[in-house]
Structure 1
């Protein structure tokens, strides 16, 4: 009888010991699962922040590209304005009177008494720069009239193609895309060897985009890249084509 009681007591103690060990294991497992859950949440939070930072980086890169494109767009204007400044600086030298210390003119009989012809090249440049000055001052309608008058008076001038291009820019800035389209096409057709042809092709493509003509715009931009692959206008065209 005593042996049976002792056996029962031992069994009870083992049972109690086993239950305690199971409880401890369950507790440890719960703690491990909670710790893993915390780690998962931290990784998820880190991934979300990384994705957010990646988006911000892409926005910054896009802004940098846009700023670079804007800078390239302004460069032709700066070049034109530099030419205007050079013309203004030369004016005082052209109109300067001889000083009192200058040698008197030699007494030579002039057979042909007609006055020497004015510097026509300088005057043509002055007329062009006056028209461009109106464009720079955002006087677009007056600039269009001035450029048209310049082309009508000097159709063979080296500046005629540039004048037609800036007429297109005036229309484009005012969102008169139909008129801009016609002007840029005339630059390409009437001045095929002019230095504004690549820019005119680029703006023609952008104008066609604004007129909801994506197929024609793509053809124009691809043509620009093919004809003038090393030009700045072609670089902008490639960038635009890459976004489509």
Structure 2
């Protein structure tokens, strides 16, 4: 009888262990499934975050590209405006010089009452040398133009074209991005040739250089000087426009 009981106990124990094994497998599967679901959820969340970040990077890249395009456009427009202004002044300078030459040729020549202590300059030679320097400037050869205009004002300081040459000397230095020398040259126009037609434009050029040298106070003072000294001139109007934009 006893052996039968032992056999039944062993069978029951085996069935219990089998059932326990089934329960362990189900729990393991459930845990694996939960872990897999959590991993997939984290992956989805990370993927979404990466997509959002990629979208933000793309938007920033597009914004940078747009801003770069605007900067390039503004730079082109500024350079175009500067070129138009330069061409305008060159054309105006040429017209005024021709008018002055015609007026000089038409003026009556007074007889000499006494020998002159200083020989008169040759207007044709002066004009030729001035024209040569101006052509260098027109061709974009600013270094050569600066040398030509500098030599001209040294050689012909009392010439009717001296204020113009001094003004273009300042512009030639500015074109080489040497604002210090440009201001020095234009200051001669506003000082020595203060009554010339180039004086108000020289003040404007000085203000431009002062602004580029991060000296807005001095630039404003120069613009105010244009308005005060030369009211009703195009230079004064340009100075007012600049002050409004500040």
Same fold (TM over 0.5): yes
Matched, 1:79 2:79: no
CA distance in 1, matches of 2:89, 2:179: 21
Could you tell me which runs of 5 or more consecutive residues in structure 1 were left unpaired when the two chains were aligned. Answer: 1-62, 87-116
* Corresponding residue for residue 58 of structure 1: none
Once the two structures are superposed, the pairs formed by residues 1-244 of structure 1 within 5 Å of their partners are 71-81=84-94, 120-244=122-246
CA distance in 1, matches of 2:236, 2:217: 18
Pair 1:234–1:67, CA change in 2 (3 A): farther
CA contact (8 A) 1:84 1:129 kept: no
Shift of 1:72: 4.8
Measured against aligned partners, the alpha-carbon deviations of 1:108-160 in whole angstroms (never above 9, x if no partner) come to: xxxxxxxxx99811221111111111111111111111111111211110111
Please give the secondary structure, in 1, of the residue aligned with 2:197. coil
CA distance in 2, matches of 1:118, 1:212: 45
CA distance in 1, matches of 2:225, 2:121: 40
CA distance in 1, matches of 2:233, 2:82: 13
**Where does structure 1 differ by over 6 angstroms across 4 or more consecutive aligned residues?**
63-70, 83-86
Shift of 1:195: 1.1
CA distance in 2, matches of 1:162, 1:193: 12
CA distance in 2, matches of 1:119, 1:186: 22
Larger radius of gyration: 2
Shift of 1:74: 2.9
Pair 1:128–1:195, CA change in 2 (3 A): same
RMSD between aligned alpha carbons? 3.0
* TM-score, scaled to structure 1: 0.56
Pair 1:70–1:231, CA change in 2 (3 A): farther
Could you tell me which runs of 5 or more consecutive residues in structure 2 were left unpaired when the two chains were aligned. Answer: 1-75, 100-118
Shift of 1:171: 1.1
CA distance in 2, matches of 1:211, 1:222: 18
Shift of 1:84: 8.1
Q: How many residues align?
A: 152
Say which structure, 1 or 2, has more relative contact order (CA 8 Å, 6+ apart). Answer: 1
